Structure 1
């Protein structure tokens, strides 16, 4: 099956889920919600803290509340450390949580390594098949399902915009080669750049503290940056923004949250939205309406060009009027 074929067929499943709603730290109980006022215990594992992952977690809680599920959350951040990541998952299993919410590919992988019994719902995962989380996105099987953070057209649309609207050919990317989702995106990006007459100039990092040096190493070698949804790099995005501003290099990013932080442009979606969808899945599982492995993995549903006008000025990019007609403009 084509890598992205599942995303098109999964769209129909997304339409079957209820509309999104608001929420607080502890989700409330409504008609059709938690049976007899039951409050579920959910372990939340997140590889690092950055706005996209944080927004996905907020969306997850809102999705549960909209479904009328009452829950208590044990939130644990691994701070980018894989040993911490695995320990967190093992502790959730020992505590006997009702469900694990895994926010990132490394978090989901650690959770699945720790248990094949407790339901796992993930989000902020790019390629769950390549990561070994599910065998088939339409019928995951086992104890895991969730939502992904890569729209099938995000990279191709961004690269087309680069190729048609900018003169440079060399595109600098920074990513953690230890993150499966990043490796998958880098491979796809390399192919799409080549198809559009551009060249990828990659630098890999292991920790967020290496990101600024990596960005500086690309000065004089690249005409623009493209930072996709790599957790290590996005957690230190301000380091890349500083270099891009100082060197007048357009900085393309992988999602709207990074545009708001100072990236120039992205074909993006809201991480809160994919978190909400994951929350609705978790509600179905907790209420006994479905097993995790029965629920198709879902992609983002909306994709839009977003441009940060202030960032554009900092990077020496003039925002054209025709861009404004088709884009969401933020300052």
Structure 2
């Protein structure tokens, strides 16, 4: 056998051996080297942070490792609307293969600058259609799909009735700048018992939360908080002021109960993040078209009650609830 023939055989063997050692933990390596996944998070607070952790967990579970076979480009606007456009443009210029918007403002910012060559996956957008992100939740069309979190408002109201049977005056604290919050407020008022006096307390920005809360704790018997990033970011302040007046808080996320709320029927944010990652992988690895992927909706949740908070507020937990509620210490 000539030298050229021997070289040819060695090259073939090398290719075969090399492909053998590309493991399942490196699903992209045959297609492209370290594709980029951009993530734009609106603000840091427990609920959104939990979504991102769920996202990372699912990526790792399916063999996608940052710096090994993918590159994560993470941006956090820290609640500053002005930063969203700049950060979205940065992710576009980084030529990310797909971008993930955690919370409605982030998703809207990404949608405004990306194209069909850089798909957008929604992470925690309560109403994608109302937010102008898709034309239809079943058939989104275009380059956007993802996960919707629709709070189980009816179940939350029922829990409030059971925990606070004498409740009459309810205040809803939310940000007027977040479309998803306004939609949930409208639904709450439609479903609330007719003998409840429900009053809205809206703030345009984080800066007005303290003053508004000081007013409402003088006027209401309970505070309801929808899925709202602005209020979640200032929850510690709200809890402190409400506790001083023994006013219970019913938020819409389990992480907000853990941070001082009384109880909720809340969507599992970690699982929401996991589903966001699964849809991202479907686009990257399986080459699914976002426009053909229905919006995945989380609209049921788990009951959770903060026993310590109930004791501090002098609220007795009914026996029928303790058997199936997760009780926090």
Q: In the alignment, what sits opposite 2:57?
A: 62
Q: Distance in 2 between matches of 1:29 and 1:186?
A: 49
Q: Deviations over 1:159-218 (max 9, x none)?
A: 12223442121111111111111111111111111x453232111112223212211111
In the comparison of the two structures, how many residue pairs are matched? 301
Q: Does 1:104 align with 2:103?
A: yes
Match of 1:30 among 21, 24, 40: 24
Give the Cα separation in 2 of the matches to 1:123 and 1:199: 34
Residue 93 of structure 1 is matched in structure 2 by 92
Gaps of 5+ in 1: 1-27
SS in structure 1 opposite 2:123? strand
What TM-score does the superposition give when structure 2 sets the normalisation length? 0.86
- State which drifts further: 114-123 or 311-320: 311-320
Deviations 1:223-276 (A, max 9, x none): 101112100001111111112211111111101111111110010122110110
Distance 2:225 2:122 in 1: 22
Stretches of structure 2 lacking an aligned partner (at least 5 in a row) = 1-21
Following TM superposition, by how much is the alpha carbon of 1:136 offset from its aligned partner in structure 2, in angstroms?
1.1
1:119 Cα offset (Å): 0.7
The alignment status of 1:39 with 2:34, answered yes or no, reads: yes
- Post-superposition Cα deviations, 1:8-46, rounded to whole Å, max 9, x if no partner, equal xxxxxxxxxxxxxxxxxxxx9735822427322111111
Q: Are 2:220 and 1:225 aligned?
A: no
> Is contact 1:123–1:275 with CA below 8 Å preserved after alignment?
yes
* Cα deviation, residue 303, structure 1: 1.6
The structure-2 alpha-carbon separation of the partners of 1:146 and 1:29, relative to structure 1 and needing over 3 Å to count, comes to farther
| 1:120–1:143 Cα contact (<8 Å) kept | yes
Q: Secondary structure at the match of 1:233?
A: helix
Change (3 A) 1:66 1:294: farther
Q: Which residue of 2 aligns with 1:174?
A: 173
- CA distances 1:265-323 after superposition (whole Å, capped 9, x unpaired): 01012211011001010001011431111111112275221000111122221222222
The answer to whether the 8 A contact 1:50-1:235 is kept is yes
Map of 1:210 onto structure 2: 208
Query: 1:7: which partner in 2?
Result: none
| Partners of 1:127 and 1:301 in 2: CA distance | 11
CA distance in 2, matches of 1:199, 1:99: 46
Instruction: Give the distance between the partners of 1:87 and 1:51, measured in 2 at CA.
Output: 24
| SS state at 1:305 partner | strand
SS in 2 for 1:113: helix
Quote the Cα distance in structure 1 between the aligned partners of 2:170 and 2:33. Answer: 52
SS of the residue aligned with 1:62? helix
TM-score by length of 1: 0.86
SS of corresponding position for 2:223: strand
